[in-house]
């Protein structure tokens, strides 16, 4: 069990010959979620050997092109591949009009139902709620309406202590109720407390995506205690004034949010093309928050209770 995050694009503004703009694939409880969809996202999905059919939810943080210009192309590809399963797209109010206008202009349609859910950029909002997980959005502070996204696992059922159950002669038909947390009573009226019959489940994991935003302490309140926080870090400290002017963050400011929120790990991204050496972001952030990674495209960050395992899911063009 765990959360697997694949970085498809980690650059800001424009794609280059060896960098793609923002897009991420999160795998949680056997479900696949696409977060933002910059140019070239579907190419990166192919390079990471992702099955397109497993993506049923797409989350768009805001309507700057480096975060959604790959969306219409991906939706068209879904159609060409014969997709029939419904797809839900979460994003700002005008996203639906942008997508449908392009399809109408081309005289095309999709072979599958598309549902659009409008995100609120001023207040937190629950977007998806199931027995296995919940997904919500939260406000960010950028030049246009922008939201972050919070992905949280739900607690699993307790695990049966088979040896203890056998010792007390508990029939198999009662296992379900015991896993739900109930005590068990024998025929002679003896009550056996649940904690003697089960093991605690693992703590649910969580991931927060803080897209384009200037530093604001409000962000820490929305992502308190998550296992992994992705926070944009477009600039290093040498361009701190530029970060403020464009309503972006520096690596140090991202690390400050991570520290204030008491998260376990921080992932940086959305790098300006001004910087060839991504290690600079990591070095500056570590002065404030030590558990930090500079996102690398086509790396998978596997979030476990024991920490994070990083591995490449495909060869990169920008081997450094």
pLDDT per position as a tens digit, 217-268: 999 999 999 999 999 999 999 999 999 999 999 999 999 999 999 999 999 9
> What's 285's domain CATH number?
3.60.15.10
Choice among 36-45, 90-99, 156-165 with the minimum mean pLDDT: 156-165
Same domain, 184 and 258: no
For residue 1, the model assigns a pLDDT of 64
304 DSSP β-pair partners: 307
For residue 319, the model assigns a pLDDT of 45
For residue 315, the model assigns a pLDDT of 65
CB contact at 8 A, 12 and 21 = yes
Same domain, 49 and 193: no
CB contact at 8 A, 61 and 67 = yes
Position 318 in a domain: no
- Judged against a pLDDT cut of 80, whether residue 298 lies above it is answered with yes
Same domain, 170 and 212: no
Average pLDDT in the 291-300 region? 97
Gap between the Cα atoms of 282 and 289, Å rounded: 10
Token duo for residue 250: 């520096």
Q: Provide, rounded to the nearest whole percent, the portion of the chain with pLDDT above 70.
A: 98
Same domain, 148 and 164: no
Average pLDDT in the 195-207 region? 86
- Supply the pTM of this predicted model: 0.90
Pairing of strands 114-118, 87-91: parallel
Average pLDDT in the 136-147 region? 98
Structure letter (DSSP) for residue 56: E
- pLDDT range class, residue 302, cuts 50, 70, 90: very high
Average pLDDT in the 145-172 region? 87
Average pLDDT in the 119-138 region? 97
Q: Which domain holds residue 166?
A: 159-198
Q: Would you please indicate which residues are annotated as catalytic (active-site) residues?
A: 66
For the chain, where are the E strands, in sequence order? Answer: 3-9, 23-28, 31-37, 55-59, 87-91, 114-118, 125-129, 133-139, 147-153, 159-160, 184-185, 191-192, 198-199, 206-210, 228-232, 265-269, 292-294, 299-304, 307-312
């Amino acid at each position: 069990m765990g959360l697997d995050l694949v970085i498809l694009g980690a650059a800001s503004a424009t794609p280059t010959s060896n960098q793609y703009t923002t897009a991420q694939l999160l795998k949680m409880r056997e479900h696949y979620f696409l977060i933002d969809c910059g140019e070239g996202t579907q190419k990166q999905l192919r390079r990471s050997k992702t099955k397109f059919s497993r993506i049923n939810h797409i989350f768009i943080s805001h309507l700057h092109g480096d975060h959604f210009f790959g969306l219409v192309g991906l939706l068209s590809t879904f159609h060409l591949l014969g997709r029939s399963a419904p797809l839900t797209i979460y994003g700002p109010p005008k996203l639906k009009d942008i997508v449908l206008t392009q399809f109408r202009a081309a005289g095309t349609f999709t072979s599958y139902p598309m549902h659009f859910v409008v995100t609120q950029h001023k207040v937190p909002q629950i977007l998806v709620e199931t027995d296995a997980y919940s997904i919500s959005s939260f406000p960010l502070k950028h030049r246009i309406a922008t939201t972050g996204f919070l992905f949280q696992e739900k607690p699993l059922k307790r695990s049966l202590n088979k040896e203890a159950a056998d010792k007390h002669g508990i029939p198999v038909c009662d296992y379900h109720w015991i896993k739900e947390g109930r005590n068990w009573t024998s025929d002679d009226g003896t009550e056996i407390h649940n904690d003697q019959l089960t093991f605690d489940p693992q703590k649910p994991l969580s991931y927060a995506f803080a897209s384009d935003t200037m530093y604001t302490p409000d962000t820490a309140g929305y992502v308190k205690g998550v296992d992994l926080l992705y926070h944009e870090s477009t600039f290093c400290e040498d361009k701190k004034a530029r970060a403020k002017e464009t309503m972006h963050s520096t690596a140090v400011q991202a690390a400050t949010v991570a520290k204030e929120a008491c998260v376990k790990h921080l992932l940086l991204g959305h790098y300006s093309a001004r910087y060839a050496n991504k290690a600079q972001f990591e070095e500056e952030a570590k002065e404030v928050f030590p558990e930090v990674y500079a996102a690398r495209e086509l790396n998978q960050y596997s979030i476990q209770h024991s920490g994070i395992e990083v591995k490449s899911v495909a060869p990169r063009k920008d081997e450094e």
